[in-house]
Amino acid sequence: MLEGLILTCTLSSQLLTVDYLNEYFSCHDRNEIIVEMQDYIPVMSKYFKDDDVELALRITFCESSGNPNAINKNTNNTYDKGLWQFNDHTWNWLKPKLKIKNSRFDVDTSTAVASWLIYNDTVKHWSASEKCWRY
């Protein structure tokens, strides 16, 4: 499954410009995230279009470092939980709307919910970590 996601990053001494080097290192960083998150490719592929699987992997890497049990407390005393780091307010809003039965820590459930959010409401829910996942 990695074959379709891994990019070929080549470094040519004839193209050593600042833009080219930035592009090379961006490619390298993207590949490192994909390799780090490869165990999640099957579940991401289940809920995301092929062209969006890499984005899903990058967002979850940046949000939780790939830890489905991650918990982070916010300054407003709410919590972000799970692989996708769903906030208490967002999860409580979506739970009745999408008839969610499982917890945010369930990778399959949270990925299905993230997919619904991204395709119906954009990636704005993960804007705080955008500098990390946007390429």
Distance CA 88, CA 104 (A): 10
State in words which class domain 17-133 has.
mainly alpha
> Span 6-14, mean pLDDT?
54
- For position 65, what pLDDT does the model report? 93
> What is the average per-residue pLDDT within 49-66?
94
CA distance 17 to 116: 40
Q: Where are the alpha helices (H) located in the chain, listed in sequence order?
A: 18-36, 41-47, 53-64, 88-97, 107-121, 130-133
Higher per-residue pLDDT: 132 or 39: 39
**Residue 132's pLDDT band (cuts 50, 70, 90):** confident
pLDDT at residue 30, as a whole number? 73
The pTM (predicted TM-score) of the whole model is: 0.80
Q: Please tell me the predicted confidence (pLDDT) of residue 21.
A: 52
Distance CA 108, CA 102 (A): 9
Task: Identify the three-state secondary structure at position 51.
Answer: helix
- pLDDT-derived band at 4 (thresholds 50, 70, 90) equals low
**Arithmetic mean of pLDDT, 3-28:** 56
* Contact of 2 with 34, CB cutoff 8 Å: yes
